[in-house]
Amino acid sequence: MNKKIFTFLSACIFVICCTACNTKKPETKPVQTTARESSGILVSAAKPTDMDVPEPEETASLPTHTYTTKLSEANGLPTPVFMFDYPDNWRVSAVDIGEESEFVDLTNDDGIVIEYMYVASSAFIGDIRYMVDVNITKIADSRFVPGYAQTMDYSHLGKFAVVKTEADSERYYAVMPESECSRSSVEANCITGFWYDGCLEFKVAIPEKLTPQKEQEIVGILSSFRVSDSTSNAAAEKESPEGDPSCTALQNGDFSEFAGTYRPCSIYVDAYGGGGELLDLILYEDGRTADGGPSFDPSPYPQTRPVSVTKKEDGSYLCQVEYLNEDLQSYFLIYPTGMPEGDPCLKDNPSLAGTPCIRYVVLDGGVMDITYHKIEN
């Protein structure tokens, strides 16, 4: 009996042990390794999921090249020299240097083109009396610091900026004086440029689809635009007129000493008035003028600031407003102490002796030449 019980218990224990031995353990996948495991460094080759890999952010390329304008060097002209920087993924794709002009295209891999244009004053073309409505907003600061060029000091233009200009359906980024942001209309051929001893533009038409990275590169290139060190040094060495603070002020764009209302001399009424009166001429503190014409053409003169001021031997100040050639130009002369002896105005009215006068001349295929005497500030 005891032997049977022992045998039965032994059989139960055997069954229980066999059952336990047949229970499956959870499977574990082995980690794949590279050959670097043999060196003692275990490197997992298991691929992470898509959520583990962040999308690489598009970053703007840093400027590594500098372009220096070449008009002055190529033709020996006393024109300002400018510089701008650009990264590896941009290239100078076109350079066109004329007798008095320079055009440069800077292009990237997407075909976006940044344009540089400079047209010297004696080759300036266009009707700057045609105004267009614009919206100009500042985008970034600019490294452009205006100073003395060849004909006058442009420091009165003040701080510059990279701006966004919108006119009708056209949109541009450009380098312009920051003060332009306060204007709602500009001259038609100066939508994206400014005067600097010539018509100067550094701009890009804004593409429809522009990534933040490309926009950052464009703004960076535009903001790098500046006057070259050679021009700045030459300007620093160039002496402004000495002994004549009036001329210095005019060259700096300050006409306040002579600003006011000027009446046309009576001898010109019949010649230009068509039997009617000529309007008084108004000279503003920034050098712009208004009115001065007959009733059928009350504002015959460009309403823009002079592009240069020089002092003549007779003591007058020549204020050049427009210049295409000797036969197509506009200018006015300021006579601070009255017209010179023998002038027709003085012969007609001797009491004008010593009175400040302005003689305005327009050559446009015909001739308009009228002298005005100051009547009030």
Residue 48 resides in a domain: no
pLDDT tens-digit profile of 231-255?
Answer: 554 544 444 455 689 998 998 889 9
pLDDT score of 33 more than 80? no
The most confident of the ranges 17-21, 29-33, 89-93, 264-268 is: 89-93
pLDDT score of 68 more than 80? yes
**87 shares its domain with 217:** yes
The percent of residues in the chain predicted with pLDDT above 70, rounded, is: 74
Question: DSSP 3-state helix, strand, coil percentages of the chain (rounded to 5)?
Answer: 25, 35, 40
Higher pLDDT, 183 or 300: 300
pLDDT score of 282 more than 80? yes
Residue 5 resides in a domain: no
**253 shares its domain with 320:** yes
Residue 19 resides in a domain: no
Average pLDDT of every residue of the chain: 79
Residue 43 resides in a domain: no
Residue 317 resides in a domain: yes
**173 shares its domain with 274:** no
pLDDT score of 318 more than 50? yes
How many domains are contained in the chain?
2
**271 shares its domain with 359:** yes
**74 shares its domain with 200:** yes
pLDDT score of 277 more than 90? no
Examine the fold and report which residue of 207, 236, 265 is the final residue of a domain before the chain moves on: 236
pLDDT tens-digit profile of 115-166?
Answer: 999 998 655 544 445 678 889 999 999 999 988 777 667 777 889 999 999 9
Q: Cβ(67)–Cβ(83) under 8 Å?
A: yes
**262 shares its domain with 217:** no
Residue 45 resides in a domain: no
Examine the fold and report which residue of 179, 202, 236 is the final residue of a domain before the chain moves on: 236
**191 shares its domain with 276:** no
DSSP state letters, 8-71: HHHHHHHHHHHHHHTPPPPP-PPPPB-GGGGGT---B-PPPPGGGSPPPPP-PPPP-EEEE--H
Asked whether the whole model's pTM tops 0.95, one would answer: no
The most confident of the ranges 96-105, 236-245, 340-349 is: 96-105
Examine the fold and report which residue of 236, 257, 283 is the final residue of a domain before the chain moves on: 236
In the prediction, which pLDDT does 147 show? 84
pLDDT tens-digit profile of 327-340?
Answer: 778 999 999 988 88
Residue 12 resides in a domain: no
Q: Cβ(288)–Cβ(195) under 8 Å?
A: no
pLDDT tens-digit profile of 165-215?
Answer: 998 889 999 999 998 898 888 776 678 988 888 889 999 999 988 899 999
**177 shares its domain with 294:** no
**148 shares its domain with 190:** yes
End-to-end, the C-alpha distance of the chain in Å comes to 143
Its domain, for residue 361, covers 245-376
Residue 8 resides in a domain: no
Which band of pLDDT confidence, cut at 50, 70 and 90, is reported for residue 60? low
Pairing relation of β-strands 113-120 and 198-205? Answer: antiparallel
